[in-house]
Amino acid sequence: SASGPSSESTPEQTRSHSRTGMDPDSIRRGIVDHLRYSIGRPAATLRPEHYYRALALAVRDRMQDNRVASTRTSLELGHKVVCYFSAEFLMGPQLGVNLLDLGIEAAAATALAELGQDLDEVLACEEEPGLGNGGLGRLAACYLDSLATLERPAIGYGIRYEYGIFDQEIRDGWQVEKTDNWLVAGNPWEIAKPDVSYRVGWRGYSEHYRDAGDVDRVRWVPGRVLRGVAYDTPVQGYDVRTCNVLTLWSAHAVDSFALAAFNTGDYYKAVEDEVNSETVTKVLYPNDEPEAGKRLRLLQQYFFVSCSLQHILHILDDLAGTSVRALPERFAVQLNDTHPSIAVAELMRLLVDERRLDWDEAWAITVATFGYTNHTLLPEALETWPLAMFDESLPRHLEIIYEINRRFLDEVRAAFPGDEARLRRMSLIGEEGGKTVRMAHLATVGSHAINGVAALHTELLEHSVLADFYQLWPERFGNKTNGVTPRRFLARANPGLRELLDATIGPGWLTDLDRLRELEPFADDPTFQRQWREVKRGNKARLARYVHEHTGIELNPDWLFDIQVKRIHEYKRQHLNVLHIVTLYHRLKQDPDATIAPRAFVFGGKAAPGYFLAKRIIKLINAVGERVNNDPDVNRFLRVAFVPNFNVQNAELIYPAADLSEQISTAGKEASGTGNMKFMMNGALTIGTLDGANVEIRDEAGPENFFLFGRTADEVEQIKRDGYRPADYVDGNPELAAVLGLIGDGTFTHGDTEVLRPVVDNLYRDDPFLVLADYAAYLEAQERVSAAWADSAGWTRMSIYNSARSGKFSSDRAIAEYCDDIWDVGPVPVPK
Ligand code: Z16
């Protein structure tokens, strides 16, 4: 029934709608009901975390109404559904954004107040689902938000890790990892679907047989079988009825009754199987760039991909009269990096072995269904699997990959006759140093659309890593510059700015971020400038409180806040930032009369537990910080804080507090970056290289509102080709020599000359990411920053321009492009 008045609703609907009303009274009743029926504790023992759970459940009920309406609309009307396959979804806290999306922040605050509770205190009780490492996982979460807000039917498919990304503690300046037991207190957002369950095999062998029609066929006889169970989390769009879903799969043993039939009475064997099976979804691998060859990781990938594809085919079967041949008309499947790329072989197996389609038809369906997004050019990050291990785990899939490869290489041979070197380069099987399966090649060959995540990245992809494929199929390649959701990273994270924007240009900007351009006429208005600075100062004071509480370090909100938060990685060059700090320290110590514009340097980020140098870089930051913060000669001008456990929750405090955003990766190494966009929206200026999306950020903001420095990607390659000798840069720069000397001589480590030695030695001898080659240019750019900061009105104007021109970096723009160019999915309004 249509969008008519409530008189059209059935009695059940009327009742359910009044139970899930959006006014403070209904919400209060929802909370009280859940306190009683879902939580069930004596009133006297209720604490804020119980109110959190009760409110979350009441909010989930309201989203569930929208979810039911959304599914009904898209299934009945036969719309195409986007399926986003990702091994990571870094969703972050859910309550705040869900209240925003439903338009019930004020109503919920009122309802809680009537129950004697404070909304902020209740919000702080949420344990965030950290089911991702960094950019890629958070991008997937932003895209789910935009898909729902743009009213596109979509399902996110992934893994329900029992342990997400580890919690980071800092002890004596070192990173210590703690397991992230995020499910202990229960997860009010998910709905277990024990009836949505699929079997997933592995190991075993494949065999030929003749089917009833006497046709020769192949089937896989797995040696082991697992069971995947779906857990659904609703994903509400902003100010719309559309509510999509994130389906995460959890691994279990197959039905123990079935097992008992073969192995009578072996109860303990069944329990042991359950324990072994559950390890598949036990823990997220904590590397933001993959660690080669871990069998369990391959199994995780195959497990969630197989469950998801079986689920999709099952939905298709349930649509009366819809043949599996209609798959690409009804579903678009996007592969978020190579992690889910085994889907290409699995879909072929399902179509050819199980649905008995012929190869050519199955292949056409497969290629029309998949799109592949590449997120990295770093050669060590391109996933490959040792052939022997792959064969043992997924023997039938390897056969299918060989057949895909045979036909593919024929196509290459026809297009480039006699080019044996090209065939070797393009093969799905790598031959160098032991045979491997090349997952990026599988994803590319199996997709009708391949994209990079920023203009520069796509350009480099087309001319380096995937150049041969680009030459074969140029029309399949395209760019989709990343974006981030303004709902979480502006409206939620920066309530002061949200209010100022609403008051200045009206509320439309939140779903049409280009409208922030309407701020430009106010950029030099003294009243508006004063309001802008007040908002920023409030955000800096809020972060300073958080930093003090978590580190004991005091930061002055009147200082320039210079912030670098992201995973710790050599290519991101946190150590270049530290070289700048030590340079300032050195200058202040050398000249007692020197003064500089005071700055607070804030760092945050996790190092992969096995990444030796990244962990030393964390120690370096903390060691320099300890010395700087406690030395009265310098702590009047400099402070350094490392925020422990950078995650989505504290990110929301950090981005809005930045004056300066550090985006200083070696050009050509950061595929896009998305933190850079979050800073820009919140009015930070960027100091950065021409890398990833920085290039487009500078284009949008205007070069006069961006502090550019450093070698270009081409220059980086040239320097490496010519034989880079970092020591030459030290010999030619006495200040740099002194700075490295201070780090190596124990100045920051109570006389210990060993702790930081690996960092210094690596820079001096090897410096794979050209830290020393860019050092002088970086210092010069930082001097431009200090000069600009001295002119407060000028800085404020630049800050306003950065926000005003950040519209392109909304994930709404990115998702609209994916929908138009790759998925062919339009809006499906769900009647209110
Ligand atoms: C990841 O977060 C990224 C790339 C990758 O191969 C694996 C992981 Cl887990 C990041 C890129 O490093 C970053 O530049 C980009 O902005 C982000 O993916 C989203 O595209």
Residues 285 and 368 in one domain: yes
Between CA 20 and CA 22 the distance in angstroms is 7
Distance, CA 666 to ligand 1 centroid (Å)? Answer: 15
Residues 703 and 740 in one domain: yes
Q: How many CB atoms are closer than 10 A to CB 318?
A: 9
Q: Is residue 695 part of a domain?
A: yes
Residues 555 and 460 in one domain: no
Between CA 81 and CA 63 the distance in angstroms is 19
CATH classification at residue 267: 3.40.50.2000
pLDDT tens figures, 17-33? 568 899 999 999 999 99
Give, for ligand 1, the residue of 288, 439, 458 to mutate: max count of ligand atoms closer than 8 Å to Cβ: 288
**pLDDT confidence of 258, banded at 50, 70, 90?**
low
pLDDT tens figures, 287-322? 877 666 689 999 999 999 999 999 999 999 988 778
Q: Is residue 108 part of a domain?
A: no
Distance, CA 725 to ligand 1 centroid (Å)? Answer: 29
Active site positions, annotated:
375, 566-567, 572, 674, 678
Residues 205 and 272 in one domain: yes
Rounded to the nearest integer, the mean pLDDT of the chain is 95
Torsion of CA 607, 609, 612, 613, to 10 degrees: 0
What average pLDDT does this structure show over 698-708? 98
**pLDDT confidence of 177, banded at 50, 70, 90?**
very high
Residue 612 vs residues 364, 378, 386, 615, 645: alpha-carbon distances, Å: 45, 18, 24, 5, 18
- Side-chain-side CA neighbours of residue 814 (13 Å): 29
What average pLDDT does this structure show over 517-546? 98
Task: Determine the pLDDT at residue 263.
Answer: 57
Q: How many CB atoms are closer than 10 A to CB 79?
A: 15
Looking only at the bridges linking them, the beta strands covering 224-236 and 191-202 are: antiparallel
**Residue for token pair 């702790």:** 755
Q: Is residue 41 part of a domain?
A: no
**pLDDT confidence of 8, banded at 50, 70, 90?**
very low
Task: Determine the pLDDT at residue 12.
Answer: 44
Q: Is residue 44 part of a domain?
A: no
**pLDDT confidence of 7, banded at 50, 70, 90?**
very low
Residues 534 and 639 in one domain: yes
Q: Is residue 284 part of a domain?
A: yes
How many domains does the chain fold into? 2
**pLDDT confidence of 3, banded at 50, 70, 90?**
very low
What average pLDDT does this structure show over 452-465? 97
**pLDDT confidence of 384, banded at 50, 70, 90?**
very high
pTM above 0.90, yes or no: yes
Task: Determine the pLDDT at residue 260.
Answer: 52
Q: Is residue 21 part of a domain?
A: no
Residue 15 has pLDDT above 50, yes or no: no
Residue 4 has pLDDT above 70, yes or no: no
Residues 476 and 505 in one domain: no
Q: Which atom of ligand 1 is closest in space to residue 290's alpha carbon?
A: 7
Distance, CA 300 to ligand 1 centroid (Å)? Answer: 19
**Residue for token pair 């820079």:** 763
Q: Is residue 521 part of a domain?
A: yes
pLDDT tens figures, 613-623? 999 999 999 99
Residues 763 and 631 in one domain: yes
What average pLDDT does this structure show over 820-828? 97
Domain that holds residue 645: 494-809
Residues 514 and 650 in one domain: yes
What is the SS3 assignment for 796? helix
Residues 455 and 535 in one domain: no
Q: Whose CA is nearest to atom 19 of ligand 1?
A: 136
DSSP H helices, 370-487, are 387-393, 395-415, 420-426, 439-445, 455-463, 467-472, 486
Residue 224 has pLDDT above 80, yes or no: yes
Distance, CA 46 to ligand 1 centroid (Å)? Answer: 42
Q: Which amino acids bring their CB within 6 angstroms of ligand 1?
A: 133-136, 139, 288-289, 337, 375-376, 381, 453, 482, 670-674, 692
pLDDT tens figures, 566-622? 999 999 999 999 999 999 999 999 998 998 999 999 999 999 999 999 999 999 999
Task: Determine the pLDDT at residue 273.
Answer: 73
Residues 561 and 641 in one domain: yes
Residues 621 and 725 in one domain: yes
Q: Is residue 195 part of a domain?
A: yes
Residues 464 and 541 in one domain: no
ipTM for the assembly: 0.99
Task: Determine the pLDDT at residue 255.
Answer: 72
**pLDDT confidence of 832, banded at 50, 70, 90?**
confident
**Residue for token pair 């001096």:** 764
Range in 84-98, 289-303, 378-392 the model is least confident about = 289-303
Q: Which atom of ligand 1 is closest in space to residue 133's alpha carbon?
A: 9
Between CA 312 and CA 322 the distance in angstroms is 12
Residue 550 has pLDDT above 60, yes or no: yes
